[in-house]
């Protein structure tokens, strides 16, 4: 049993008429269809306040027991970005030269990816997302966290959506392994890096693969 309860406050919920609900759902789908991952970023600067607001949006995500087990490390320093790029490319070279299965590499071929990751250096921001596996109280005692992977995944999705909504592009990058990020960014051992989110403006004339998404029938079942 907990020895306290959260103070209860009124729910801020605005009910919409069915026609407005449908309109907003339709418009948001069309808006999100324009969200694409890119690998060619401009070095054009982005106002930090925009990034801060996107992070505040991500921080509104639901989480197990409201423990909010995420940490977003925002990197804009050129030296740090280059350091991350060099370390990530070292891991990527091992991945492409035998670390990954042939099946995995075959799945990546249509996307034309390789070990070179210049976007890690050229994009104005890298947001490195860490999962906080457990908390530590003021006395140094471990605090168990619940549903960490699920919670961080939801927050990451909200962050990607917020970035798109702000008029920026992003790329999810997951070098494996990623523990080098703890050392470079001086993060504690209770945090595990889960992703580098590359953020900025697209490079002029950038092109993206002509991919298709699964239909509703393929991704959803109604009972």
Got the DSSP string for 190-209?
TEEEEEEEEEEPBPTT----
Got the DSSP string for 14-76?
----HHHHHHHHHHHHHHHHT--B-S-B------HHHHHHHHHHHTTS--GGG---EEEEEE-
In this predicted structure, the answer to whether residue 106 has a pLDDT above a threshold of 90 is no
155: tokens are: 């927050």
CA distance 99 to 108: 14
The predicted pLDDT at position 46 comes to: 98
In this predicted structure, the answer to whether residue 169 has a pLDDT above a threshold of 80 is yes
CA distance 198 to 217: 32
Specify the pTM.
0.93
Q: What is the mean pLDDT of residues 146-164?
A: 98
Lowest mean pLDDT among 5-9, 123-127, 144-148: 5-9
Assign 141 to helix, strand or coil. coil
Q: Are residues 125 and 76 in contact, defined by beta-carbon separation less than 8 angstroms?
A: yes
The predicted pLDDT at position 2 comes to: 52
The predicted pLDDT at position 3 comes to: 62
Tell me what the pLDDT averaged over the chain comes to. Answer: 93
Q: CB under 8 Å to 41, separation ≥6 — which residues?
A: 119, 122, 123, 124, 169, 171, 198, 200, 201, 202, 203
The predicted pLDDT at position 108 comes to: 79
**pLDDT per residue as tens digits for the range 196-207:** 999 999 999 999
55: tokens are: 């992070």
CA distance 53 to 161: 12
């Amino acid at each position: 049993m907990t020895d306290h309860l959260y103070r209860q406050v009124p729910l801020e919920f605005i009910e919409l008429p069915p026609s407005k609900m449908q309109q907003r759902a339709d418009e948001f789908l069309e808006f999100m269809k324009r969200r694409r991952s890119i690998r060619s970023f401009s070095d054009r600067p982005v106002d930090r306040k925009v990034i801060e607001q996107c992070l505040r949006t991500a921080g509104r995500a639901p989480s197990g027991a409201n423990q909010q087990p995420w940490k977003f490390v925002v990197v804009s320093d050129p030296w740090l970005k280059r350091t991350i790029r060099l370390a990530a490319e070292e891991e990527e070279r091992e991945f492409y030269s035998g670390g990954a299965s042939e099946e995995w590499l075959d799945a990546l071929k249509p996307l034309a990816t390789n070990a070179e990751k210049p976007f890690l250096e050229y994009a104005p921001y890298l947001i490195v997302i860490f999962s906080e596996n457990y908390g530590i109280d003021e006395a140094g005692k471990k605090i168990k966290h619940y549903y960490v992977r699920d919670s961080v995944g939801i927050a990451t999705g909200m962050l990607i959506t917020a970035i798109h909504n702000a008029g920026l592009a992003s790329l999810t990058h997951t070098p494996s392994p990623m523990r080098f990020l703890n050392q470079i960014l001086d993060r504690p051992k209770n945090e595990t890096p889960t992703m580098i989110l590359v953020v900025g403006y697209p490079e002029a004339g950038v092109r993206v693969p002509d991919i298709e998404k699964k239909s509703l029938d393929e991704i959803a079942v109604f009972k």
